[in-house]
Structure 1
Amino acid sequence: MILAGGVGTRLWPLSRRGTPKQLLELLGERTMLQATVDRIAPMIPLERVYVMTNAEYVEQARAQLPNVPPKNIIGEPTPRGTAPAVGLAAWHIQTRDPKAVMLSLHADHHIADPEGFRQALGAAIDVAREGWLVNLGVRPTYAATGLGWVEMDSSLGKFRGVEAWRVKRFVEKPDIERAEHFLESGRYLWNSGIFGWRVDVILKVFERLLPSISERLAQIGAALGTPEAEATLREVWATLRGETTIDRGIMEHAAQVATVPMDVGWDDVGSWSSLIALMPADASGNTVRGAGDSILVDCERVFILSEEKFIAAIGLSDLVVVDVGDALLICHRDRAQDVKRIVSQLQAQGRHDLL
């Protein structure tokens, strides 16, 4: 099951409500959603691939994935966080295979080593079959403060040649001092947000930890396959309040949680700086993308993306310039995470034309 419903506000102004990053060709000739499906296709038949997305993106997703059954691409009426999305997908899968192992992936991740990733997924599947909720953890390469971390406990042994570990705890985004301690200890992994479990197990955990959401999902699940399915989904979904993540709502509180470490060149492509790092650059570290033309003189580590305009830059360093016609972003590369603050101000001002 692939989560593909976000808007990707940190990649504004390219990623917007009508053109979210998972539906864009950011790193090649395939969109991020298509690349995610391509990555798992060698091990998962396409008829067993499900996509959870916003209702407004369903038709775009179906057009991009013609070999995935249209009924497997499911639209949420409104965003309510990853927990309800995962639970709804679990109900759909349960009606088809009550003992199925379900993998929960994200459509906007980049994986440099697809074969290694599939090996880690295979190990996670075997661990999940034994009743564990499984996290795929990433071997950290630096003291990240923008990611959650997972502390490993005791070993559960090897599965398909990959060692799995009991999870001691999940840690939300730490400050730099704690992140450096986590990195040096060797006992912590980054939380990739990729999970696996048996559908019967995860639905029971929903009952225990998120009873209100579980009750509503059961109402929706009971109507699946009936003429009332769509109406029931809209009516019951509207009663969900706020947004609940699967990490905080389930994984941080569940009893039997494991992690499978992986070192596969994972990146959540969560900002312009992370996306730029995945793109080729010239000898001065500059990257130019888009249909528009550009000339850079005496520039270093400058990123320019222009859809139409010619852009010239002289004597600049460490800048991000993104021009998409009706909006122009200029920011320092070290402040790329703060693009979300621009989006927040646009929302507060009611500038929906720019969102």
Structure 2
Amino acid sequence: MSIDPTAAQSAPSQPSASALERFHAVIPAGGVGTRLWPLSRAAAPKFLHDLTGSGQTLIRATWDRLAPLAGGIMVVTGRAHEDAVCRQLPDVGAADLVLEPEPKDSAAAIGLAAAILWLRDPDTIMGSFAADQVIGPVDVFQDAVRQAVETAATGRIVTIGITPTHAATGFGYIRTGRRLSVAGAPDAHDVAAFVEKPDQRVAERYVASGRYLWNAGMFVAPVALMLQHLEANEPELHAGLTEIARAWETPERDAVMARVWPGLKKTAIDYAVAEPAATAGDVAVIPGAFTWDDVGDFAAIARLNPVKDGSGVTVIGDTPRVYSDSATGVVVTDTSRVIALIGVEDVVVVDTGDALLVTTTEHAQDVKRTVESLKAQGADDVL
């Protein structure tokens, strides 16, 4: 695929309706969510669960937020999740469902979507939004996306950064630069730098400065510009994705995917595209004033599902049987087993048919180590 860099960077600013007409959303739905084991597993990752008590799975809520804005939505997910994703998203067409034979991280997933969309229409503006995030209010999020599309139409890769609510050490940060003059995007700023996850002291300094945003991994960009930077920084990955994309609308799709995909480099879109593009001055940011949570562990589930009664315990499940006395925490259950909590604080209990997890919200991040240990022991039947 040959991209004309000059054409990609000189796209004129356009009115909102025209820019949105070019907008196509992409939902990467990957990752197991190991810190949410045993609820989230390889066969049923967290984006297929309702973790907020809303009655919607995370991927369905993501689709519904984007559908009013996008001319189309592409979903990139694992082949093992095809049936479950199609049940959740019956409107996704076969041509817009990209099934990965194996996980290859975000650069391959988003890059392939960009390559397919470029071949359909090189003027497309794509937006990538992970399937496993909790966001609200929806209208505030949608306004940020509209501003991002407007800014992307001027020839920029745009990220939506989250206004931090506390000095988090688990997220990367974006340092904002000068305010940009973009019609229809009054909040657009230049990106001065992407910053790795900081320690507590540095995170506190970032938040106090007012110049830093959380990096939520949301990117909106002209597909031509996205591919231009991918080709410059990861030429072999770009070449492989181009080969798959060229076969996408042909009977050779599955054969080419099976041959090329396993050899692709595993890397994040941040390293392959966003950070080098920021160095080149091609990245902008829209601050997101909405609430955002990546539901990274069971402490997040407790935070997103406040206790609804005087029990002190958040309970999630279709038929929960939970008794508590002087206890606080969260219980997630899909069994009919009685769970009694007496005199324990900030406890996390996850009860499934074949595995039981007991920890505390303080140690919720450590669940990942348990999964790694079980995998090393060959206990794949519960992973």
Same fold (TM over 0.5): yes
In the other structure, the counterpart of 2:162 is 138
Whole-angstrom distance in 1 between the partners of 2:225 and 2:44: 35
In the other structure, the counterpart of 1:101 is 125
In the other structure, the counterpart of 1:266 is 292
Identity %, equivalent residues? 41
Residues 154-199 of structure 1 show CA distances to partners (whole Å, capped at 9, x for unaligned) of 1113553541111111111100010000001011000011111001
In the other structure, the counterpart of 1:253 is 276
In the other structure, the counterpart of 1:2 is 27
In the other structure, the counterpart of 1:303 is 330
Residues 254-295 of structure 1 show CA distances to partners (whole Å, capped at 9, x for unaligned) of 121111001111111111111211113034642112123010
Picking from 262, 271, 274, the partner of 1:238 is 262
Number of matched pairs: 351
Task: Give TM-score, length-normalised by structure 2.
Answer: 0.89
In the other structure, the counterpart of 1:181 is 205
Whole-angstrom distance in 2 between the partners of 1:274 and 1:263: 19
In the other structure, the counterpart of 2:38 is 13
Task: Give TM-score, length-normalised by structure 1.
Answer: 0.96
For 2:88, give the aligned amino acid. Answer: Q
Query: Which consecutive aligned stretches of 4+ in structure 1 deviate over 6 angstroms post-superposition?
Result: none
For 2:85, give the aligned amino acid. Answer: A
Q: CA RMSD in A?
A: 1.3
8 Å CA contact 1:62–1:70 kept in 2: the answer is no
Q: Are residue 205 (structure 1) and residue 229 (structure 2) matched?
A: yes
Whole-angstrom distance in 1 between the partners of 2:355 and 2:304: 24
Deviates more, 1:345-354 or 1:68-77: 68-77
Residues 41-97 of structure 1 show CA distances to partners (whole Å, capped at 9, x for unaligned) of 22224xx10000011112211121112223211101110110000011111211222
For 1:251, give the aligned amino acid. Answer: A
Secondary structure at 1:252 match in 2: helix
In the other structure, the counterpart of 2:315 is 288
Residues 186-238 of structure 1 show CA distances to partners (whole Å, capped at 9, x for unaligned) of 11000011111001111111110111101111211222222212101110112
Q: CA deviation at 1:305?
A: 1.6
Whole-angstrom distance in 1 between the partners of 2:259 and 2:185: 46
Please list every run of 5 or more consecutive structure 2 residues that lacks an aligned counterpart in the other structure.
Answer: 1-25
Please list every run of 5 or more consecutive structure 1 residues that lacks an aligned counterpart in the other structure.
Answer: none
Q: Are residue 196 (structure 1) and residue 220 (structure 2) matched?
A: yes
Inter-CA distance 304–122: structure 2 relative to 1 (3 Å threshold): same
Secondary structure at 2:284 match in 1: strand
Q: Are residue 51 (structure 1) and residue 75 (structure 2) matched?
A: yes
Inter-CA distance 218–70: structure 2 relative to 1 (3 Å threshold): closer
Picking from 350, 360, 363, the partner of 1:335 is 363
Deviates more, 1:279-288 or 1:218-227: 279-288
8 Å CA contact 2:311–2:324 kept in 1: the answer is no
